[in-house]
Amino acid sequence: MDKELNIALPKGRLGEQAYALLRDAGLECPALNDPGRRLIFTNREKGVNYFWVKPSDVAIYVERGAADLGIAGKDILNEYAPNVYELQDLGIGRCRMAVAAPEGFRDDRRVPLKVATKFVRCARRHYAAKGRDIDIIHLNGSVEIAPILGLSDVIVDIVETGTTLRENRLAVIEEVFPISARLIANKASYQFKEERIVRLTAALAARKGENA
């Protein structure tokens, strides 16, 4: 698979959207239309292999060289800071990392702010830049209920439409950073497959320009 491109796609809707972009950029793989339970798909003619992996694992597959390229959200890249190249903003999967709090929340700066989140490093960096003391509570899911149950004062989480927040009587009080899907590359693979990777990046940029 030396000259083939190995691409890790995040399972789910974002991965499907990303594949559509890659297909339109010339890397189609018809086998992906009939996935079944398989996780690896090859198109020898186009010299490409696709893998479906858990979205939070894409960066690891790429950093460790199991995939040359991958599609990862900016949330994952900011949280894990993998040692990869971030070549292109694909403009899909747009949402934002935000701080949300119960309606009527007032920050009492005399005590550390209790912050519940799945994104510990992002939250820590955000508040460190503001010089605000925090007490981080690492949760793996259902972060929205933490303030309702008194576990935390605020949450730092991904907000797409805001519906889940509203349903739990929370509101965004601050945006941390915008999120979208990015094309990432393994640094060693880039050295040996530069021409193909550069061509693909340019094709994706051109399509993004057309759709802008």
Q: Is 176 in the site for other proteins (CB under 8 A)?
A: no
Minimum distance from residue 86 beta carbon to other proteins (Å):
4
Question: Is residue 38 part of the contact set for other proteins (CB under 8 A)?
Answer: no
Pair 139, 149: CB distance under 8 Å: no
Stretch of 11-19, 84-92, 100-108, 146-154 contacting other proteins, by CB under 8 A: 84-92
What six digits make up the tokens of 188? Answer: 């060693």
Check if the beta carbon of residue 74 is closer than 8 Å to that of residue 81: no
SS3 category, 102: strand
CB contact set of 165 (below 8 Å; sequence gap of 6+)? 100, 144, 159, 171, 172
> How many angstroms separate the CA atoms of 10 and 188, rounded?
21
Contact window for other proteins (CB under 8 A) among 93-101, 146-154, 161-169, 179-187? 179-187
**Sole binder of other proteins in the list 13, 166, 169, 187 (CB under 8 A):** 187
If one asks whether residue 2 binds other proteins (CB under 8 A), the answer comes out as yes
Task: Say whether residue 33 binds other proteins (CB under 8 A).
Answer: no
Q: Which two tokens stand for residue 57?
A: 């694992």
Number of neighbouring beta carbons within 10 Å of residue 29: 19
Give the pair of three-digit tokens for residue 125.
């960096």
Query: Considering only residues 10, 189, 196, 200, which one is a binding residue for other proteins as defined by CB under 8 A?
Result: 189
Q: Encoding tokens for residue 66?
A: 């199991």
Near other proteins in 128-147, by CB under 8 A? none
* CB of 85 or CB of 105, closer to other proteins: 85
Work out how close the CB of 111 gets to other proteins at its nearest, in angstroms, rounded to a whole number.
28
| Interface residue list for other proteins (CB under 8 A) | 2, 63-66, 83-89, 185-192, 194, 198
